[in-house]
């Protein structure tokens, strides 16, 4: 199997899975089995690709010419490979988890759910592998559309209005700003290929560069840069596996991944730092980090709190791009991995809590840690990773981002990063604290059902939910120790134009 | 000669155009302002007739005779083409009038009136009725 | 024999449906009339395909009606521009007629069906004639043939809702006023040049140069055609006519009638009057351009608040015509390309959507959006077709709508007209709102209790899905349409005598 074929295969598996799932809709066990098997197969193919990419291969496939000069092209480079690995790897975990969750929570229309889920993964992979801006934009939109039914899954009025906000903001930003930016780029550069060192240098008047960057930065609504972040909390009406995989990994990471791609391969890091076009973006990102963290503190709904935490963490990556140096890109890319592992654990814990105890509010979690020890231990590990304490994964990405900020001599940004970590402690560890140490409330007042049920020692979520959580929590630790390899790998992201030595 | 603001010669020599403009405006005004469907058709007819006149009068050449081929080398003919065109246009006009009148008859049969405002009233009521029944079935 | 047919293809293109039309009446039975009309529509489509294939390389077919040489005789002149439009008209006709069988059987009494198909074929013939002819007055005659039959077709919706009668009447009044304005405009051009052949007109107008008569002629033609193509604010006839006409008629008209009118406008503006006619350029920039932008927003906003699906789509059509006119008003190659490609794209999209609306009407008995709640479960294929068509209307990637938007925005950016690019995008956001209202009702709202709705019959679904398929196919691989449109734009620009600076 050549690399190019492997690339197509990686995209084809989730696409074909859609049809298989649709065909086996009436037999839930086969359907769920297919979904898990497909995720494993996809991951295997992606790993196989990762190996070649690490050996220096750069496979590229051109599918069709949509308009004269505009082709759908897939080409793999290290950054995209990283995103693909994360997305497809965590798909396995989520596929297993959703079986437990969807059955445990008795959700309806599960077939539609799995179909859209597979489509979302397929488009996330297509985004990761896209070889030019045009392809990326197309699948960016496909991802938006395919996740809409997932967000609206419950079909309640709240789900409908949440989905409306979700679609509205993502569509508005992408059509109003991103598409204009894409066409603008095409107009001035005459190409949309992702090229090391960027394609815009010498083509665009440096005075306009900040404006074009602004169109990109706000147009990539999936990166949830403030003030276009509202869709992320709104999307929390979705079932938890959706929040976990899509709104902690695939969709939001597709956003920041696009941001990094644009920064390194369209503008070029050198061009950005030379012209200072991204200076303003640094401050917007910094503000986003702080404001979102503070808002997260005020949220009582567990998923909403995690959502705002995501908004804040995503801006770290945007910040990494805006810093426009190699450390920034490395720190940002690494944060894609570390935050993905951490946040998916947190969301899956939130889901497990909902399935096992039907709790969604932070204030209701008092004493729950003793009933669900595994869940809450994993929650704490992931929280520590997000906060950035060693020996957990998040420590490294924050470290490199700090280095990047120091490289630029931005002391204020260092302060922001520090402050934000403190805020993380406040809004994440307080949850674990309540769960483990606060005395259980008198539950009579809350629910008669719960009081009527005999109180057992341990009331964990189904095993299908628990195993994935443990796996990803373990991942938080593993990534910390495997960081050397990751760092080496990220160094291979081409920053300079190819002509330069 | 055109220094004096009002050029009598110009006005007279273009009198066919003046007639055209007057007829056209009359027709258009009737079509737009009258609420009676039949009167609208009348207005439309006047409007179209104005155009027929425009075409026919522009085919006329001063001193020209009817465009029938006669055996005389120096004779000046009027341009026959506009006449031919207008024959076609008249046919189209008649077809339009016929269709409009047929529609007016059908409207009279269904609504019981050919006055526009009364029809509008009836249609408004239909719309309200529809939304009432729909609201009822919706609940 | 074959050679005779081939050499007379341009004449057959129009003559065939005209000759077949009375036979529909003679056959006397709805099904037979339908069969004849359908066969004729297939043949006309084949003819237009052949014509398109032979002019795709940029050559021009000039056919002399009755052997009379132009400019005295009537010339049928086929170049890439009108071959493209012929293809749209005959193609949509060939899809709508199979669709019409069930839809018309439901909406029109059996004894009136032969008349319906007669009128339909006349309408097709008229539209094809307008497109193919190279004679200015001939355009008027065919325009009236198609319009008169359209009025009759719209009025035939009266068996479903009597308001079709008044809708048709208003359409008749406004349409006739428009046609008469158009004829006055042609008269003015004739007055200057003494010819009616379009190619000849173009040469003589270029020789003659600018004059106030020419200005008047242009303005009359603009307003006349503006009425026919529902240029905002001359669109008042359109919403009622489209909502109350039988579904098959609406699908056909929405996809073709306004497109043909746009073609006439393109032809007169660029071939006859010339691309660089200064007064025209000013009018386009100062009058048509703002009106186009206003149409994009005003009509979309009104569409948002409609409860009737067909009426909503009708208002959306007015907005889409705004896009086409906007492309024209840029007066650049890319702008023109965007207009022409949108001509095709919108025909495909709107045709599909109105067909879907017709399917809904057949099953639910009404076209109101609130009666579509939960219909996605009962009519999965119809509902999915609506979603796909809606995506194209919004202009999402991988649909034809995206291609049009892409070129429109590119044209705006080439000129450096920033705000316009943003306005185009902003108006397509309005499209999201009105499309999504329906999508939500269809999929996410619970169906009313105790109502089951049957999926539309295959004879209606297949044509609708063919159009949807086309809208996706040409959205994924748009090279054919954009190349054709680009050549058409070249032809329109190139035919003006004076050099156009890039």
CB pairs under 8 A between A and C: 72
Inter-residue contact A251 to A347 (CB < 8 Å) = no
Q: Do A183 and C421 touch (CB under 8 A)?
A: yes
**For range A325-336, the mean pLDDT:** 88
**For range B74-79, the mean pLDDT:** 80
**What are the angstrom distances between the C-alpha of C227 and each of A67, C38, C165, C235?**
33, 30, 19, 7
pLDDT band at C259 (very low <50, low <70, confident <90, very high): very high
**What are the angstrom distances between the C-alpha of C410 and each of B84, C109, C292?**
47, 49, 17
Quote the pLDDT of residue C497: 44
- Confidence check: pLDDT of C338 > 90: yes
Find all residues with CB under 8 Å of C318, minimum gap 6, and list them: C230, C232, C235, C238, C239, C295, C299
Residues of C in contact with A67 (CB under 8 A): 403, 406, 478-479, 482
pLDDT band at A70 (very low <50, low <70, confident <90, very high): confident
Inter-residue contact C439 to C369 (CB < 8 Å) = no
Quote the pLDDT of residue A457: 63
pLDDT band at C193 (very low <50, low <70, confident <90, very high): confident
- Confidence check: pLDDT of C41 > 70: yes
- Confidence check: pLDDT of A39 > 50: yes
Average of per-residue pLDDT values in chain A: 85
- Confidence check: pLDDT of C498 > 70: no
**For range C359-369, the mean pLDDT:** 87
* Chains A and B, touching by 3 or more CB pairs within 8 angstroms: no
Helices (H), A438-462: 448-452
Range of the domain at B114: 2-138
Give percent of chain A with pLDDT exceeding 70. 95
CB crowding C6-22: b at 16 or more within 10 Å, else e: eeebbbbbbebbbebbe
pLDDT tens-digit series, residues A248-263 = 788 888 999 999 889 8
**For range A489-497, the mean pLDDT:** 79
The Cβ of residue A418 has, within 10 Å, a number of other Cβ atoms equal to 13
Find all residues with CB under 8 Å of A264, minimum gap 6, and list them: A79, A196, A198, A321, A329, A493, A494, A495
- Confidence check: pLDDT of A378 > 60: yes
Total domains in the fold of chain B:
1
- Confidence check: pLDDT of A447 > 50: no
Nearest CB among C425, C446, C479 relative to A179 is that of C425
> For B111-115, C122-126, C385-389, which range has the lowest pLDDT when averaged over its residues?
B111-115
Q: pTM for the whole thing?
A: 0.90
- Confidence check: pLDDT of C303 > 90: yes
- Confidence check: pLDDT of C147 > 70: yes
**Nearest Cα to A263, choosing from A208, A342, A200, A207?**
A200
Please give the Cα distance from A202 to A195 (Å, whole number): 14
Average of per-residue pLDDT values in chain B: 83
Nearest CB among B28, B58, B107 relative to C165 is that of B107
- Confidence check: pLDDT of A496 > 80: no
Stretch (H or E) spanning C62: strand C61-64
Quote the pLDDT of residue C385: 93
pLDDT band at C434 (very low <50, low <70, confident <90, very high): very high
Quote the pLDDT of residue A452: 43
The Cβ of residue A46 has, within 10 Å, a number of other Cβ atoms equal to 26
pLDDT tens-digit series, residues A413-433 = 889 888 998 998 888 888 888
Quote the pLDDT of residue C469: 93
Give percent of chain A with pLDDT exceeding 90. 12
- Confidence check: pLDDT of C40 > 60: yes
Q: Helix (H, G, I), strand (E, B), or coil: what is residue A220?
A: coil
Quote the pLDDT of residue A127: 92
Which residues on chain B place their C-beta less than 8 Å from a C-beta of chain C?
24, 28, 31, 37, 40, 44, 47-48, 51, 54-55, 58, 79, 81-82, 85, 88-89, 92, 95-96, 99-100, 103-104, 106-107, 110-111, 119, 123, 126, 130-131, 134, 137-138
> For B2-11, C200-209, C483-492, which range has the lowest pLDDT when averaged over its residues?
B2-11
pLDDT tens-digit series, residues A198-240 = 888 888 888 888 889 999 989 998 888 888 888 888 888 888 8
Quote the pLDDT of residue B133: 52
Quote the pLDDT of residue A433: 87
Inter-residue contact C273 to C331 (CB < 8 Å) = no
Give percent of chain C with pLDDT exceeding 90. 53
Quote the pLDDT of residue A356: 83
Please give the Cα distance from C489 to C502 (Å, whole number): 13
Residues of C in contact with A150 (CB under 8 A): none
pLDDT tens-digit series, residues A17-34 = 989 888 887 888 888 888
pLDDT tens-digit series, residues C153-181 = 999 988 888 889 999 999 999 999 999 99
Quote the pLDDT of residue B4: 57
Q: Do C162 and B92 touch (CB under 8 A)?
A: no
pLDDT tens-digit series, residues C455-495 = 888 889 999 999 999 999 998 888 888 888 888 888 888 75
- Confidence check: pLDDT of A97 > 70: yes
Residues of A in contact with C445 (CB under 8 A): 155
Quote the pLDDT of residue C106: 87
Chain C nearest-CA residue for A136: C397
- Confidence check: pLDDT of B34 > 80: yes
Nearest CB among C140, C165, C190 relative to B110 is that of C165
Please, which chains are in contact with A (at least 3 CB pairs closer than 8 A)? C
- Confidence check: pLDDT of A444 > 70: no
Specify burial of residue C401 (Cβ count, 10 A radius: 0-12, 13-18, 19+). Answer: buried
- Confidence check: pLDDT of A501 > 70: no
- Confidence check: pLDDT of A299 > 90: no
Please give the Cα distance from C482 to C407 (Å, whole number): 10
Structure tokens at C268: 């007169």
**For range C355-359, the mean pLDDT:** 93
Q: How far is C380 from chain B (nearest CA, A)?
A: 22
Task: Give the CATH number for residue B124.
Answer: 1.10.287.3510
């Amino acid at each position: 199997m050549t690399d190019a074929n492997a690339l197509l295969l990686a995209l084809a598996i989730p696409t074909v899975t859609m049809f298989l799932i649709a065909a086996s809709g009436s037999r839930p066990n086969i359907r769920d089995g297919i979904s898990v098997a497909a995720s494993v197969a996809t991951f295997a193919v992606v790993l196989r690709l990762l190996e070649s990419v690490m050996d220096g291969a750069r496979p590229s496939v051109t599918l069709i010419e949509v308009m004269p000069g505009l082709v759908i092209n897939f080409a793999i480079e290290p950054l995209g490979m990283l995103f693909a690995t994360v997305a497809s790897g965590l798909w396995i975990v989520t596929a297993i988890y959703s079986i437990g969750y969807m059955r445990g929570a008795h959700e309806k229309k599960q077939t539609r759910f799995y179909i859209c889920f597979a489509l979302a993964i397929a488009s996330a992979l297509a985004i990761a592998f896209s070889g030019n801006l045009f392809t990326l934009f197309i699948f960016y939109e496909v991802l938006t559309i395919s996740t809409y039914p997932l967000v609206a899954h419950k079909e309640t009025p709240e789900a409908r209005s949440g989905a409306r906000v979700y679609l509205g903001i993502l569509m508005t930003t992408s059509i109003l700003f991103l598409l204009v930016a894409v066409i603008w780029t095409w107009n001035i550069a005459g190409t949309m290929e992702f090229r090391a060192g960027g394609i815009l240098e010498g083509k665009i008047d440096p005075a306009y560069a900040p404006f074009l960057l602004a169109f990109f930065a706000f147009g990539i609504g999936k990166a949830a840069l403030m003030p276009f972040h509202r869709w992320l909390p709104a999307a929390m009406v979705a079932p938890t596996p959706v929040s976990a995989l899509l709104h902690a990994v695939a969709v939001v990471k597709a956003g920041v991944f696009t941001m990094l791609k644009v920064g390194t391969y369209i503008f070029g890091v050198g061009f950005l730092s030379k012209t200072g076009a991204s200076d303003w973006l640094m401050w917007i990102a910094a503000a986003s980090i702080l404001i979102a963290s503070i808002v997260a503190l005020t949220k009582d709904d567990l998923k909403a709190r995690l959502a705002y935490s995501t908004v804040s963490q995503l801006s770290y990556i945007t910040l990494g791009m805006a810093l426009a140096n190699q450390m920034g890109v490395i720190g940002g890319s690494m944060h894609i991995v570390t935050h993905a592992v951490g946040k998916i654990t947190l969301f899956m814990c939130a889901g497990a809590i909902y399935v096992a105890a039907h709790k969604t509010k932070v204030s209701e979690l008092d004493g729950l840690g003793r009933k669900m020890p595994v869940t809450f231990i994993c929650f704490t590990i992931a929280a520590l990773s997000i906060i950035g304490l060693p020996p957990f994964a998040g420590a490294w990405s924050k470290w490199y981002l700090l280095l990047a900020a120091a490289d630029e001599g931005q002391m204020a940004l260092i302060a922001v990063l520090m402050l934000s970590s403190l805020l993380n402690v406040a809004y994440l560890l307080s949850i674990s604290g309540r769960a483990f140490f606060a005395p259980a409330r008198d539950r009579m007042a809350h629910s008669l059902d719960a009081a009527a049920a005999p109180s057992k020692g341990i009331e964990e979520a189904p095993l299908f939910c628990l195993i994935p959580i443990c796996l990803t929590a373990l991942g938080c630790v593993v990534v910390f120790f495997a960081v050397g390899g990751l760092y080496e790998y990220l160094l291979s992201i081409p920053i300079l134009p190819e002509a330069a030595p | 000669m055109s220094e004096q603001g009002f050029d009598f010669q110009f006005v007279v020599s273009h009198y066919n155009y003046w007639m055209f403009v007057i007829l056209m405006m009359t027709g258009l005004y009737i079509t737009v302002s009258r609420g009676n469907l039949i009167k609208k058709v009348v207005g439309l007819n006047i409007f179209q007739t104005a155009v027929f006149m425009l075409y026919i009068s522009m085919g006329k050449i001063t001193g020209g005779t009817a465009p029938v081929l006669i055996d005389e080398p120096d004779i000046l003919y009027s341009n026959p083409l506009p006449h031919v065109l207008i024959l076609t246009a008249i046919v189209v006009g008649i077809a339009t009038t016929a269709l409009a009148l047929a529609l007016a008859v059908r409207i009279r049969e269904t609504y019981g009136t050919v006055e526009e405002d009364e029809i509008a009233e009836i249609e408004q009521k239909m719309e309200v009725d529809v939304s009432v029944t729909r609201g009822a079935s919706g609940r | 024999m074959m050679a005779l047919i081939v050499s007379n293809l341009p004449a057959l293109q129009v003559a065939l449906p005209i000759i077949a039309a009375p036979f529909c009446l003679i056959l006397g039975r709805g099904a037979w009339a339908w069969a004849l009309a359908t066969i004729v529509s297939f043949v006309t489509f084949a003819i237009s395909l052949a014509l398109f294939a032979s002019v795709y390389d940029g050559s021009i077919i000039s056919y002399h009606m009755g052997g009379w040489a132009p400019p005295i005789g009537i010339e049928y002149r086929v170049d890439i521009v009108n071959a493209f439009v012929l293809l749209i008209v005959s193609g949509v006709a060939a899809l709508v007629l199979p669709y019409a069988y069930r839809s018309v059987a439901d909406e029109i009494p059996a004894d009136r069906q032969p008349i319906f198909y007669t009128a339909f074929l006349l309408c097709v013939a008229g539209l094809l004639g307008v497109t193919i002819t190279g004679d200015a007055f001939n355009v008027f005659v065919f325009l009236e043939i198609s319009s008169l039959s359209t009025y009759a077709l719209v009025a035939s919706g009266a068996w479903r809702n009597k308001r079709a009668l008044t809708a048709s009447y208003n359409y008749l009044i406004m349409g006739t006023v428009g046609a008469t304005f158009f004829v006055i405009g042609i008269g003015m051009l004739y007055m200057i040049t003494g010819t009616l052949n379009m190619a000849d007109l173009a040469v003589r107008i270029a020789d003659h140069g600018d004059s106030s008569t020419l200005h008047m002629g242009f303005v009359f033609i603009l307003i006349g055609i503006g009425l026919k193509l529902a240029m905002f604010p001359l669109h008042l006839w359109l919403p009622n006519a489209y909502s109350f006409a039988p579904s098959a008629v609406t699908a056909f008209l929405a996809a073709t009638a306004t497109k043909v009118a746009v073609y006439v406008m393109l032809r007169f503006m660029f071939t006859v009057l010339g691309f660089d006619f200064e007064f025209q350029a000013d009018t386009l920039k100062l009058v048509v351009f703002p009106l186009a932008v206003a149409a994009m927003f005003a009509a979309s906003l009104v569409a948002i608040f409609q409860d009737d699906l067909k009426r909503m789509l009708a208002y959306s059509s007015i907005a889409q015509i705004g896009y086409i006119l906007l492309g024209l008003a840029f007066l650049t190659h890319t702008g023109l390309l965007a207009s022409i490609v949108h001509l095709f794209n919108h025909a495909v999209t709107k045709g599909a959507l109105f067909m879907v609306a017709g399917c809904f009407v057949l099953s639910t008995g009404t076209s109101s959006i609130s009666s579509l709640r939960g219909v996605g479960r009962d009519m999965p294929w119809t509902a999915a077709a609506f979603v796909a068509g809606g995506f194209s209307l919004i202009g999402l990637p991988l649909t034809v709508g995206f291609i049009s938007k892409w070129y429109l925005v590119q044209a705006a950016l080439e000129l450096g007209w920033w705000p316009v690019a943003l306005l185009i995008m902003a108006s397509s956001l309005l499209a999201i709102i009105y499309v999504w209202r329906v999508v939500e009702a269809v999929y996410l709202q619970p169906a009313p209790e105790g109502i089951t709705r049957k999926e539309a019959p295959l004879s209606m679904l297949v044509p609708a899905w063919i159009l949807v398929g086309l809208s996706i196919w040409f959205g994924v691989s748009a090279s054919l349409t954009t190349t054709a449109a680009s050549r058409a734009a070249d032809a329109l620009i190139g035919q003006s005598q004076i050099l156009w600076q890039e």
